Amino acid sequence: MSRKKENKRSDGLYEVKTIVGHKFDGKPLYKSFYSKKSKTDARNKAEAYKAELKSKYDPAVMFGVYAEDFLTRAKTRVKITSFETGYRLPLTLHIIPRFGKIRISDIRKSDIERYAADMLKDHKPSTVCAHIRVLSALFNDAIDNAVVSINPCKNIRIKKPQKNTKRVYNPAQAELVLKFCKSDPFGLHVHMLLSYGMSLSEYLGIMVKDIDFENLTVSINKGAVIAPAKSSQFMIVSEPKNAHRNRQIAITKETADWLKTCTHKYISNPESDDVMKSTVFRYAYKAFMQRMHDYYMQDNIDIPILNPHELRHSRASLWVNEGRSLFAIAEMLGWSDLKMLRSVYGHPDIQELRKNLNL
């Protein structure tokens, strides 16, 4: 019996296609190997490639196992605020449940793209982008540790919607909100956020001892953030996001006298000496905003209901459009980039422009 002739490709090469792994859905992943000599030589190249993979990478490592180890190491490298919101929560709540029982070496770009598409059904593009970033960091770490050879997150782009202008109060609206604060039990908290442009995290972390009643200043040197997993607390106090957030802000004597009524450790918490949960604060804040809105609607004055961050944005916008020193505004807000301050927070009011330009 004659020996079967080995077929060459049109380019004169011998080809052997072999399974080198499996896709996320379990289907085999093929790779072709070529030789000018013979099909046996091409097959030997395929076997050498698989042997190299086996010695260099561990295909048995499950994504969930590696992710847990990655989190343990990442916790020592980044601030707790960044770790909780940027690493632990995305991985433990969404990514590990999706990929945890899959071999990390079997995850492909198409799998990440499907994950992103599914997430976009219920989450903002910015949230999905954050998930892709932490996934990319994890795979780069796996490459450094010779667990995988490629990063499947590379070149994945999440289409972001057109950026909407943030809502802000104009001078007249801000004045009415601050006026209502004086008559409402929750008014002090809204007054602090709108008058001084601090973030909610910073405000929740302010303690009575941070107030200098003689020099009329408040020290911003920490913030309240979500507690780590397995903690008995819901909120904890940690250092600010960056060095610029660590600052002193000037307050008026009226504000200082109002703050003297605080009898607990944290000025935002009238109930106890513990830091207030952000969820509790937001619930009370929403109730205040509704009361304020309903009060002015009696006179057909429609004051929009803004969230706490939009109060910070409003204060910055008001200061910028009043022509206040950008350096002073940046110092009060804890910002370091004046260009960004002007472009992000500058929402010129047409009447203010007319007044300033004598039009």
* Beta carbons within 10 angstroms of residue 237's beta carbon: 19
Coil, helix or strand at residue 299 = coil
Q: Which residue has the tokens 């079967």?
A: 4
Do 63-144 and 171-357 show the same overall fold? no
Q: Helices 125-144 and 109-119, interaxial angle, to 10°?
A: 150
Can you read off the two tokens belonging to residue 185?
Answer: 């039990």
Instruction: For residues 126 and 108, give the distance between their C-alpha atoms in angstroms, rounded to a whole number.
Output: 22
DSSP string, 210-239: GEETTTTEEEE--EEEEPPTT-S-SEEEE-
pTM of the model: 0.59
Between CA 79 and CA 84, with CA 81 as vertex, the angle to 5 degrees is: 105
Instruction: Per residue of the chain (359 residues), give pLDDT as tens.
Output: 455 555 677 778 888 888 866 544 456 767 888 888 888 888 898 888 777 655 544 556 889 989 998 998 888 888 777 888 889 889 999 999 999 989 998 899 999 999 999 999 888 888 899 999 999 999 988 888 778 888 999 888 887 666 556 789 999 999 999 999 999 999 999 999 999 999 999 999 999 999 999 999 999 988 887 765 545 556 777 777 666 788 899 999 999 999 999 889 999 988 888 888 888 899 999 999 999 999 999 999 999 999 999 999 999 889 888 878 878 888 888 877 666 666 655 555 556 556 655 65
- CATH class of segment(s) 63-144: mainly alpha
Least Cα distance to 94 among 60, 122, 74, 73 occurs for 122
Domain ranges of the chain: 14-56, 63-144, 171-357
Between CA 338 and CA 342, with CA 341 as vertex, the angle to 5 degrees is: 90
Q: Name every residue whose Cβ is closer than 8 Å to that of residue 133 and which is 6 or more positions away in sequence.
A: 86
Q: Name every residue whose Cβ is closer than 8 Å to that of residue 299 and which is 6 or more positions away in sequence.
A: none
Instruction: For residues 7 and 23, give the distance between their C-alpha atoms in angstroms, rounded to a whole number.
Output: 29
Structurally, at CATH architecture level, domain 171-357 sits in Orthogonal Bundle (1.10)
